[in-house]
Amino acid sequence: MPRLAPRFPVRDGSDQINKGLVGAWMMSDGGGANAYDWSRRRNGAIQAFSSGVWGTSSGGNAFTPTGSSSQFVATDGSFLFSGPTTYSVSIWVKWRGTQQAAPFGDPGAIMGYQTNGGGQWLILSLVGTNPATTQIYWGPKNYASGITSTSSPGNGVWRHVAASWAGTTAKLYIDGKQEASGTPTGSNPAAGNFFCIGGVNGDLASYSTTTLSNARVWQRIITPNEVFRLYRQPLAGVLLPKRRVYNI
């Protein structure tokens, strides 16, 4: 279960977990129209959502989209193309109930990048609409089959999901353990649209009914030990005020 960061967390420049970090949204903002990116890049965030998206859980703030097309976080995806085409992502998620079935798959999408009329990349979603029985999907390549977890995330259960793309090999981790590996084919991401959290926007749109926290993107491959650390220490790399604990 994730621990919640302060509303404006501070990046620990000495922590190696932040090496290659190009985007990080804790989702602890609690209100307003912006999700604060605490990575060095300070990517802006546009939130095209209506009321009710900032929720609470066990005393902490969280991002709680309800499957609506007006409830997601989007930021200019150009930060994905300023370095090598190797990526890692990490996020805490709780899928809540039946998910929206998108036109081209990706039900319950929680992360992804797409260009209208072009393709989708870096997709984290479910295979089916029922989180209690389906698997988690990682699709780093355009229109590729991607890879899927061996276990189901469960309905209303916090999971830490991490994934990587090394140019040829994709890996998927659930709660600190590798569950899948494969070599999807297809094209690399192309510039031209938004990177989204809580859904995938555009003509191949899919939106999730979830509770989300602590979304990060790196332009490098995070190691299995780093994945396990992010699972056991959700606020790794964040400088926290003393004598305060934030729980979700």
pLDDT (tens digit per residue) in 175-195? 999 999 999 888 777 776 778
- Yes or no: say if 111 and 156 are a contact pair by the CB < 8 Å rule: no
CA distance linking residue 233 with residue 218, whole number of Å: 17
Which among 174, 235, 226 is positioned nearest to 11, based on CA atoms?
235
Q: CA-CA-CA-CA torsion for 59, 158, 22, 55, nearest 10 degrees?
A: -40
Predicted pLDDT at 236? 87
CA-based torsion, 187, 201, 71, 80: positive or negative: positive
- Yes or no: say if 111 and 75 are a contact pair by the CB < 8 Å rule: no
How would DSSP label each residue in the chain? Answer: -PBPPPSS-EE-TT-GGGTTEEEEE-----SSS---B-STT----EE---TT-EEEETTEEEE--BS-TT--EEEEGGGGGSS-S-EEEEEEEEE-SSPP--TTS-TT--EEEEETTTEEEEEEEESSS-TTTS-EEEE-STT---EE-SS---TT--EEEEEEE-SS-EEEEETTEEEEEE---SPPP-SSSEEEESEE-STT-EE-BEEEEEEEEESSPPPHHHHHHHHH-TTTTEE--TT---B-
Spatial neighbors of 60 by CB under 8 A, at least 6 apart, are 3, 4, 28, 246, 247, 248
Asked if residue 47 has pLDDT above 70, the reply is no
pTM more than 0.85: yes
AA letter at 24 = A
Predicted pLDDT at 51? 47
Asked if residue 48 has pLDDT above 60, the reply is no
pLDDT (tens digit per residue) in 61-119? 678 888 877 777 777 777 776 666 789 999 999 999 999 876 666 899 999 887 776 67
Lowest mean pLDDT among 46-55, 200-209, 210-219: 46-55
Residues above pLDDT 70, as percent of the chain: 74
